[in-house]
Amino acid sequence: MSRIGVFVCHCGENISRTVDVEQVAKAAGEIPGVAFSCDYKYMCSDPGQTLLKKAVAEHKLDGVLVAACSPRMHEKTFRKAAEAAGLNPYLCEMANIREHCSWVHEDRDMATAKAKDIVKLMVERVRKGKSLAPITVPVTKRALVIGGGIAGIQAALDIADAGHKVVLVEREPSIGGHMAQLSETFPTLDCSQCIMTPKMVDVANHPNITLFTYSEIEKVDGYIGNFQVTVKHKARSVDESKCTGCGICMTKCPKKKIPNEFDQGHGMRPAIYVPFPQAVPNTPVIDRENCTMFQSGKCGVCAKVCGPGAVDYEQQDTFTVEDVGAIVVATGFKLYTIDRKPEGSPIQGYGEFGYGTIPDIIDGMTFERLASASGPTGGKILRPSDGKEPKQVVFIQCVGSRAREKGISYCSKVCCMYTAKHTMLYHHKVHDGQAYVFFMDARTPGKGYDEFWRRAVEEEEAVYIRGMVSRMYQRGDKIVVMGSDIQVGVQVEIEADLVVLATAVQPQDGADLLAQKLGISYDKYNFYSEAHAKLKPVECATAGIYLAGACQGPKDIPDTVSQASAAAAKVMTLFAKDKLERDPVVAKVNEKYCVGCFACKKVCAYGAIEEKEIRDRQGNLVKKVAYVNPGVCGGCGTCQATCPSKSIELDGYTDEQIMAMIEAL
Amino acid sequence: MTPGKKRLSYSYYPGCSLHASGREYDISTRALFKALNVGLKEVPDWFCCGATPAHNVDELLSLSLCAKNLSLAEEVEGDLAVACAACFSRLKTTQHHLKEDDTKRKQVEVAIDGPAALNKPVKHILEILAREYGLAKLEESVKKPLMGLKVAPYYGCLLTRPPGVPELDDCEDPSIMEDVLRALGAEPVKWSHRMECCGANFTLSRPGVVLKLSNAILESARIAGADCIMVACPLCHGNLDIRQKEIKEAFGAPDSTLFGNIFGSELHGGSAPDQRDLPIFYVTQLAALAMGVASESLGFESVITDPKPLLRDKQLL
Amino acid sequence: MKNKLMHLSNETMNIGFVKKVEALSGSSVRRCFQCGKCSAGCPMSTFMEHPPNRVVRLLQLGQGQRILAGRSIWYCASCETCTTRCPNKVDLAAIMDALRKLSWDADGPSKESYVQLANRLFIENIRTYGRQYELRLGAAFNMKSGQFLKDLMLGPKLISKGKLKMFHSKNKNIAEIEGIFKRIEEMRKKGEAL
Amino acid sequence: MHGEHIKHDFEPKIVAFVCTWCTYAGADLAGTSRMQYPPNVRVLKFPCTGRIDPVFILRAFQKGADGVLVSGCHPGDCHYMAGNFHARRRFAAFRALLDFVGVDLNRLQFSWVSAAEGGKWVDVVTELTERVRAMGPMPEFKELEHEEQWSTFAEATVDKSGAINTPELKEAYDSIG
């Protein structure tokens, strides 16, 4: 006969308001095998835990059930307490009578009945539970950082400075990301490139950092402490070991009129190029789609002029496998475009703004490039259509953001601040110009942020209009902006020379595909999900993978850098240990009954199941059976449900446990 | 049309306007379909769809009237062709709402004392020309291309809005009228007011509103260099055509204060120097003209802003 | 009315009215976050004392009576621009329909009698003739609104152009129309429909 | 969702087999968001829907469940990469089998509820509960449990020669032969 203890928590009033906890405790006490039951105001508090420990000792309990909140909340807490009382922690379980009962039902009688049922089921689970010992695995003290924007750079530098090796993988030919594109940053208006490029150089020179640019993640295997990541190195057509970065190939390339992505398509670059002058590495890449040599087989100028002979048209994509113990994902964001979307896409374009066909309606990042000293206009604000200096500029906030009709319901967080910054930059550069801003709310929480916005209004004379724009169309060389001022209650019409849209921040293209490779979850917009919104904002639910920057949600630079350093700290915490303990929820094979059909092997997503030969003393093969590598097993239990002879079993979720629970229904 | 394919044929809901103030739309639609060898059979004993006034104050009545018409149309073979943009919008809206809302559907079925026919495909004339008959074939069938005719295609409010209901084209940037015009050999002009409201049914109760809104439309078309405007709605036609002279009187003379007294200074958008007459055509009139149908049988005599000088000028008469 | 102090309390906020509007229109009122895009694009906004966004705002505050007292709802052209462009899926055009219906039911405290009158005559015409009889509609409107000379010059011109018919024949199946009107009235009497 | 609780004549017993990562977390979210749903459901947590053996479902019906819900991560979102795909394939076959033996499939629901879909969890549970409530209790499988015992008894009554001595079974075997 088992001796189980049941502890029913009031959770202040959160549970006791709708569930009669005394009755639940009383009913639990009547279940055969329950040696002790009680209720208490806050089980998770220190006195609550002491109560549990005392009861274990006094009543010689061999299993513990805490009926309280979700195990996702406090399972660890109570297992620790049980362990302190000398019990195997896996013999402590939780019955969820808060999230699954008291919070979702109003009828007291029915909620109480349900709580009793939940306790009854879980008592059976405790009764059939087994003592388990945690599994230890070694930790590879080398980290992978995906994405070379400010988040990835910060995380890589922090981890490398702590003395660990880091592999930094960037999809584009250079690191730097969006921050390298910005002109000046809020709220201090310091030059973005001036603070960014030294960090980029630090990455290139750091002895602990291996930098792979123009590379992508192909495949991810393994688990926390022991990942094997296949990296695809896209053919650069330039041998990095030979190239000196002299740049003569770029000046001689006959194809020079390719819109430069770094300048949002407003500057030009040759077919062999570095994205921008301060690129790291300073090694060009050939854009094969636009290169005459690749398209027609004739040209070869760059190869001829290259002194060290670095240009290699035959170069192929190569792959390497990197062993790492932790992964930081820092893939960043892209900006929403108002273009017409392909049919079936959940994101709608803005037809009322001309679907991006009006040349002088640009997005915020394009304005950054126009304002940047290294940009296509040399820092002069000139509009794209005719190169004239615009005298009336209209800024529109929340384009795409906060618009569930367009498929995006969230606030993009950074636009209020960068629009205020844009009005200032514009006012500094065009003294006789006027900036207008259509906005709904000015969201400026942050140190020095609201003051910054007020400065744009009060000192830099930007006219803020609370209201949105319904439609814009071209009239002559002007753009007619039809908006409203809801405070006055009138329609507003402005003939603008240039319109700047603060378009929504979205996750990078392919964010979902990368998440599937990594086995991490993402929300409906493809932003990566943190393990807990408040208490685990950096960790993924998948152990050993951490998030940094805008790939998790819209963020400004300070927040991004903070999160990147936090992710680095998490990696260092992991690397501080040589071995890692993990949950012993893994499958085990009963070799006596296993017939070696290996149906389990076929369904195992982790490749944890191996074929094991059983031999007699003479060394003759008796039979082949399945063997589960406990370090690799993820613990999903698919093998157990698949096994025809029921000879594989998942610890913690055995058939015996589950059947006992069903019997108790 | 591939050989052996059945001849296109439609049931037809003209609507009240096409039997009265928009009679030339009806006449030209029939003439065009005849010229294209497409069948058109009027639904017998159809009722008014309720138009804007009905849904304005009584949605259930509006839905019921349209549902009744849809079930009357069930008795005639072929998809239901509709020319009037307002009727089209009401019929499509009814199908959309009743498919989505079971409660409303049940109420409507009580009101019309029978099942609501929600699956009869309702097609606008433009849709039939551009997609079912097909632009390529339309272009082939042209006998007298509308060479040199600069047309401002006017969609108005109801053809494409709201999203997901008429399913005719993109609700902010449609191209179906331009496509048809190009197929007919005409030149669609790019202009800003092709989807602005003309004032619609305020023509009876508040004509001042109509004058202001329609003026903006006419002005924009003139600025874009259009010779004429093409519409697909009898109400738009009425406002732009019948009231065109009145608009000119109200806005043309700088010292006109007739309407200014009523609505204040907002009415005066400044006098436009360009005061050309802009004939207003129905899409079917232009299409039939291009198909070589005699202009006498297109109801031009019913039009107030005489299109004949323009057509003569472009050698289309 | 416009600048009258707004007392807000459970008693003065008519939430029942708002719920009715939501039920009739099938659109949430609370969802609106007052961006003003509807008012920005509304062709009739300049004629309204409460621009469209404020109509929704007043509903959010439970101030339906302030809306009905004004003429804003009767100046909506049902062009659907607001509904089409609303970033938040508020079907303002349908809300306007619902408000007009409620005003109509209450026999219109609204000052905008011309539009109401035109609507009333239009619907009466349907009930009597099955289809629109435009000449009668126009004539009756002028008689009842007291604008005997309105569009005086237009009428004969339209008749001569064949655009207005002097006589109008009723639908053969006119009884069915009457049936629809009657059954709707009955449903409403029994409370089976709003 | 809120408001007065209506007393029903029949309160169905609904058993939900859910995975811990998505649906269990989604149900937690429904709780933290204070959404309301019928209290008829009893949740059994699994690491993954891939762990769920069809036998569990049969047993649940036998033990008095009137409706069973199986819910996990959306396809492609499995915490264990592919467990839910295996579950889906398994249950597709299992459903066909249940249908074949005459179980009304309206009593068995499969769905995807992610950790972010508290509202969907509420909808799914509410819908299934109301549907099963309208269908009434499900006695067939409970009877089956008794029949099972009866048939073991019948096996024991096979006489020494091996011949079957109950007319029903004899008829059944004959029809196969």
Q: Which chains touch C (3 or more CB pairs under 8 A)?
A: A, B
Beta bridge partners of A7: A38, A66
Sequence length of chain D is 177
Predicted confidence at residue C55, as pLDDT, reads: 96
From the number of C-beta atoms within 10 Å of its C-beta (0-12, 13-18, 19+), residue A166 rates as buried
Give CB contacts under 8 A, 24+ apart, made by A514-519: A514/A146, A514/A217, A514/A329, A514/A331, A516/D76, A517/A217, A517/A218, A517/A219, A517/A220, A518/A217, A518/A220, A518/A327, A518/A329, A518/A542, A518/A545, A519/A220, A519/D79, A519/D81
Predicted confidence at residue B261, as pLDDT, reads: 40
| Fold exhibited by the domain B144-313 | Rossmann fold (3.40.50)
Note whether A634 contacts D81, CB cutoff 8 Å.
yes
Question: What are the residue ranges spanned by the domains of chain B?
Answer: 9-123, 144-313
Among C33, C40, C81, whose Cβ lies nearest the Cβ of A467? C40
CB A367 within 8 A of CB A500: yes
| Confidence band, pLDDT 50/70/90 cuts, at residue A348 | confident
Over residues A329-339, the pLDDT tens digits come to 999 999 999 99
Residues of A with Cβ-Cβ distance to B173 under 8 angstroms: 340, 351, 354-355
Q: Is B18 helix (H, G, I), strand (E, B) or coil?
A: helix
Q: Is C181 on the interface with A (CB under 8 A)?
A: no
Predicted confidence at residue C32, as pLDDT, reads: 95
CB A401 within 8 A of CB A441: no
Residues in contact with A417: Cβ distance below 8 Å, sequence separation at least 6, in sequence order: A186, A187, A444, A446, A449, A452, A453, A556
Predicted confidence at residue B271, as pLDDT, reads: 46
Residue of B268 and D111 predicted with greater confidence: D111
**Domains of chain C with bracketed CATH:** 15-103 (1.10.1060.10), 113-189 (no CATH)
Tokens of D135: 């269908």
Predicted confidence at residue B222, as pLDDT, reads: 92
Over residues A602-629, the pLDDT tens digits come to 888 877 898 999 998 998 998 999 999 8
CATH ID of D14-138, from 3.40.720, 1.10.3470, 3.40.50, 1.20.950: 3.40.50
Tokens of A624: 């082949």
Q: Give the torsion sign (CA, A426, A429, A431, A433).
A: negative
Among A524, A585, A641, whose Cβ lies nearest the Cβ of D52? A641
Predicted confidence at residue D175, as pLDDT, reads: 61
Predicted confidence at residue D147, as pLDDT, reads: 55
3-state helix, strand, coil in chain C (%, to 5): 55, 0, 45
CATH ID of A142-220+323-332+519-572, from 3.40.30.10, 3.50.50.60, 1.10.600.10, 3.10.20.30: 3.50.50.60
How far apart CA C17 and CA C31 sit, in angstroms, is 17
Over residues A405-430, the pLDDT tens digits come to 888 999 999 999 999 999 999 999 99
Residues in contact with C123: Cβ distance below 8 Å, sequence separation at least 6, in sequence order: B50, B53, B54, B57, B58, B61
Residue A178 has, within 13 A of its CA and on its CB side, a CA count of: 24
Residues in contact with A552: Cβ distance below 8 Å, sequence separation at least 6, in sequence order: A527, A528, A529, A530, A537, A563
How far apart CA A634 and CA A541 sit, in angstroms, is 13
Average pLDDT over residues A509-532: 88
* Helix (H) and strand (E) counts in chain A: 17, 34
Lowest mean pLDDT among B265-274, D32-41, D117-126: B265-274
* High-pLDDT (> 70) share of chain A, %: 100
How far apart CA A460 and CA A451 sit, in angstroms, is 12
Predicted confidence at residue D154, as pLDDT, reads: 44
| Confidence band, pLDDT 50/70/90 cuts, at residue D1 | very low
Residues in contact with B46: Cβ distance below 8 Å, sequence separation at least 6, in sequence order: B13, B14, B15, B69, B72, B73, C131
Q: Is A398 on the interface with C (CB under 8 A)?
A: yes
Closest CA to A640 of B132, D47, C80, B100: D47
**Rg of the Cα trace of chain D?**
20
| Confidence band, pLDDT 50/70/90 cuts, at residue A384 | very high
Amino acid (1-letter code) at residue A510: G
Note whether C36 contacts A484, CB cutoff 8 Å.
yes
CA distance A503 to chain C (A): 14
Over residues A537-562, the pLDDT tens digits come to 999 877 899 999 999 999 999 999 99
Note whether C45 contacts A469, CB cutoff 8 Å.
no
D139, pLDDT greater than 50:
yes
D41, pLDDT greater than 70:
yes
Among C119, C132, C173, whose Cβ lies nearest the Cβ of B56? C119
Predicted confidence at residue B270, as pLDDT, reads: 45
The angle formed by the CA atoms of residues A489, A493 and A496, to the nearest 5 degrees, is 140
| Confidence band, pLDDT 50/70/90 cuts, at residue D144 | low
In chain B the beta strands, taken as DSSP E runs, fall at 9-13, 39-42, 80-82, 122-124, 150-153, 187-188, 228-231, 280-282
Q: Which H or E run includes C40?
A: helix C37-41
Q: Which H or E run includes A249?
A: helix A248-252
Residue of A344 and A473 predicted with greater confidence: A473
How far apart CA D116 and CA A523 sit, in angstroms, is 8
Predicted confidence at residue C132, as pLDDT, reads: 82
Residues in contact with A53: Cβ distance below 8 Å, sequence separation at least 6, in sequence order: A81, A84, A85
Does the pTM of the predicted model rise above 0.90? no
Which positions 67-106 of B are in contact with C (Cβ < 8 Å)? 68, 97, 101
Nearest CA in chain B to A472: B192
Predicted confidence at residue C51, as pLDDT, reads: 95
Tell me the average pLDDT of chain A: 93
| Fold exhibited by the domain B9-123 | Glutathione S-transferase Yfyf (Class Pi); Chain A, domain 2 (1.20.1050)
CA distance A352 to chain B (A): 6
Closest CA to B106 of D130, C20, C193: C193
Over residues A211-252, the pLDDT tens digits come to 999 999 999 988 889 899 999 999 999 999 999 999 999 999
Amino acid (1-letter code) at residue A312: D
A504, pLDDT greater than 70:
yes
Among A351, A354, A475, whose Cβ lies nearest the Cβ of B171? A351
Among B47, B162, B302, whose Cβ lies nearest the Cβ of C161? B302
Over residues A117-174, the pLDDT tens digits come to 999 999 999 999 999 998 888 899 999 999 999 999 999 999 999 999 999 999 999 9
| Fold exhibited by the domain A4-127 | Rossmann fold (3.40.50)
Note whether C41 contacts A352, CB cutoff 8 Å.
yes
Q: Is C54 on the interface with A (CB under 8 A)?
A: yes
**Region A587-663: CATH code:** 3.30.70.20
Which stretches in chain B have pLDDT values below 70? 1-5, 253-273
Q: Is B37 helix (H, G, I), strand (E, B) or coil?
A: coil
How far apart CA D55 and CA D57 sit, in angstroms, is 5
Q: Is C26 on the interface with B (CB under 8 A)?
A: yes
CA distance C50 to chain B (A): 16
Over residues C137-178, the pLDDT tens digits come to 888 888 777 777 777 777 777 877 777 776 777 788 888 889
Question: What are the residue ranges spanned by the domains of chain D?
Answer: 14-138, 142-176
Residue of D2 and B192 predicted with greater confidence: B192
Q: Crossing angle of helices B283-290/B23-35, nearest 10°?
A: 30
- Mean pLDDT per 10-residue run, chain C (194 residues)? 78 93 93 95 92 96 90 90 94 94 75 76 87 80 76 77 74 87 92 84
Q: Evaluate whether A142-220+323-332+519-572 and A587-663 have a shared fold.
A: no
Q: Which H or E run includes C37?
A: helix C37-41
Residues of D with Cβ-Cβ distance to A70 under 8 angstroms: 24, 28, 31
Q: Which residues of A601-623 are buried (b: 16+ CB within 10 A; e: fewer)?
A: bebbbbebbeeeeeeeeeeeeee
Nearest CA in chain A to C36: A467
How far apart CA C145 and CA C143 sit, in angstroms, is 6
Amino acid (1-letter code) at residue B277: D
Tokens of C11: 């008693």
Tokens of C157: 């011109």
Nearest CA in chain B to C105: B57
From the number of C-beta atoms within 10 Å of its C-beta (0-12, 13-18, 19+), residue A298 rates as exposed
Q: Is C135 on the interface with A (CB under 8 A)?
A: no
Residues of B with Cβ-Cβ distance to A355 under 8 angstroms: 172-173
Residues of A with Cβ-Cβ distance to B192 under 8 angstroms: 473-475, 480
Predicted confidence at residue B28, as pLDDT, reads: 94
CATH 3.30.365.10: does it fit domain A336-506? no
Nearest CA in chain A to B220: A475
**3+ Cβ–Cβ pairs closer than 8 Å linking C and A:** yes
| Confidence band, pLDDT 50/70/90 cuts, at residue D18 | very high
Question: What are the residue ranges spanned by the domains of chain A?
Answer: 4-127, 142-220+323-332+519-572, 248-305, 336-506, 587-663
How far apart CA B90 and CA B166 sit, in angstroms, is 9
Taking residue A331's Cβ as centre, other Cβ atoms within 10 Å add up to 29
Strand-strand pairing, B9-13 and B39-42: parallel
Alpha helices in B74-166 (DSSP H): 85-100, 102-112, 125-127, 135-141
Note whether B172 contacts A475, CB cutoff 8 Å.
no
